[in-house]
């Protein structure tokens, strides 16, 4: 098994859609980013890359590259998963946390789990998503943005078998 963690944060901005875990969430503000700003999928991608020893999302998808402008982060996730597949690495499970003062995310957790589990090819029970506030402390607490944390476990038994 290989463990990886990912952390990301994005600032709120007007005239942007709020996309978290591949799901559009009704809110007056979205997240500023070169991509669609899906902070949860970015943390997940970083955790996957970290577990595989493949660096980070900024290295693979630089925001200086126009090809990634407003890109759907699920496409980035698919590319990361492709890199894992090429290395015979399989995702075992993912545990994800979103820190946001607003909006209330509880009504959207099931949809996000569904979406991410489908993308990872895992049953929903292997994809956990938690949402919390930071009790009005810090940048998330002041409503300046959203932070996300991800921990994943990869199964490298396919790789070991090939060696
Ligand atoms: Mg990001």
How many angstroms does the Cα of residue 9 sit away from the middle of ligand 1? 6
Neighbours of 157 (CB within 10 A): 13
pLDDT on residue 64: 86
Ion ligand 1: residue ranges with CB closer than 5 A: 8, 42
pLDDT on residue 159: 73
How many angstroms does the Cα of residue 140 sit away from the middle of ligand 1? 15
- Token pair listed for 1: 């098994």
Chain position carrying tokens 């290395």: 87
The CATH code for residues 2-162 is 3.30.1330.50
77, 121 contact by CB (below 8 A)? no
pLDDT on residue 66: 87
pLDDT, mean of residues 87-98: 97
pLDDT, mean of residues 63-71: 87
- Per cent of the chain over pLDDT 90 is 90
Query: For residue 162, is pLDDT > 90?
Result: no
- Could you tell me the pTM of the whole model? 0.96
Higher pLDDT, 7 or 67: 7
How many angstroms does the Cα of residue 64 sit away from the middle of ligand 1? 13
Give SS3 for 21.
Answer: coil
pLDDT on residue 137: 97
Identify the CA nearest to 82 among candidates 61, 111, 110: 61
Higher pLDDT, 162 or 6: 6
Alpha helices in 10-149 (DSSP H): 39-52, 57-60, 73-86, 109-120, 138-141
How many angstroms does the Cα of residue 8 sit away from the middle of ligand 1? 5
| Domain spans in the chain, listed from the N-terminal domain onward | 2-162
Query: For residue 40, is pLDDT > 70?
Result: yes
Query: For residue 13, is pLDDT > 90?
Result: yes
Per-position b or e across 43-52, b if 16+ CB within 10 A of its CB: bbbbbbbbbb
pLDDT, mean of residues 24-52: 97
pLDDT on residue 52: 97
Query: For residue 163, is pLDDT > 80?
Result: no
**Tens-place pLDDT, residues 134-154:** 999 999 999 999 999 999 999
- The whole-chain average pLDDT of the chain stands at 95
pLDDT, mean of residues 9-26: 97
How many angstroms does the Cα of residue 17 sit away from the middle of ligand 1? 15
How many angstroms does the Cα of residue 157 sit away from the middle of ligand 1? 30
Which DSSP string do the residues of 81-111 spell out, in sequence order? Answer: HHHHHHTT-EEEEEEEEEE-SSS--GGGHHH
Which residues lie below 8 Å from residue 73, measured CB to CB, with a gap of 6+? 19, 22, 35, 36, 37, 38, 41, 42, 45
Beta strand pairing call for 30-31 and 18-20: unpaired
């Amino acid at each position: 098994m290989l463990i990886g963690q990912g952390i990301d944060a994005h600032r709120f901005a007007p005239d942007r859609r709020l996309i978290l875990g591949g799901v559009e969430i009704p809110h007056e503000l979205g997240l500023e980013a070169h991509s669609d700003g899906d902070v949860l999928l970015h943390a997940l991608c970083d955790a996957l890359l970290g577990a595989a020893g493949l660096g980070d999302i900024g290295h693979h998808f630089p925001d200086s590259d126009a090809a990634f402008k407003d890109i759907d982060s699920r496409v980035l996730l698919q590319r990361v998963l492709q890199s894992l597949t090429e290395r015979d690495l399989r995702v075992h499970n993912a545990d994800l946390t979103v820190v946001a003062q607003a909006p209330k995310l509880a009504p959207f957790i099931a949809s996000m789990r569904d979406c991410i589990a489908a993308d990872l090819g895992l049953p929903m029970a292997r994809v956990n998503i938690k949402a919390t506030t930071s009790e009005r402390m810090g940048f998330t607490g002041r409503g300046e943005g959203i932070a996300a944390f991800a921990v994943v476990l990869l199964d490298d038994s396919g790789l070991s078998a090939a060696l």
